[in-house]
Amino acid sequence: MPEGAGELKLKDCRRASKRLVEEAMIKKVKGGYEVVSKTTGRNLGGPYKTRKEALKRLRQVEFFKHQKG
């Protein structure tokens, strides 16, 4: 197996995060970063100190949004 074949490449990670940001937004605010719904404008989480933490929350929101209840 080629070296690094199992690793997620940085380019692919950026594409995935870009798609997530299209559905909901990560906004820079005074206290850090907030996850905000693109359609309703509601705050979905935050403020977070880093953009990485906000992206993690955005992934959680997307995961639970697509769960079958």
User: C-alpha 46: how far from its chain's center?
Assistant: 12
Which band of pLDDT confidence, cut at 50, 70 and 90, is reported for residue 48?
very high
The tokens for 69 are: 């209840």
The tokens for 57 are: 């929350």
Side chain identity, residue 26:
I
Place of tokens 């937004």: 25
Q: Is the pLDDT score of 9 beyond 60?
A: no
What was the pLDDT predicted at 1? 45
Helices 51-65 and 10-23, packing angle to 10 deg: 70
CB atoms within 10 A of CB 30: 5
Whether the model pTM is above 0.95? no
pLDDT digits (tens, 9 = 90+) for 24-44: 799 999 999 999 998 899 999
Task: Give residue limits of the domains in the chain.
Answer: 16-65
Place of tokens 């909901």: 24
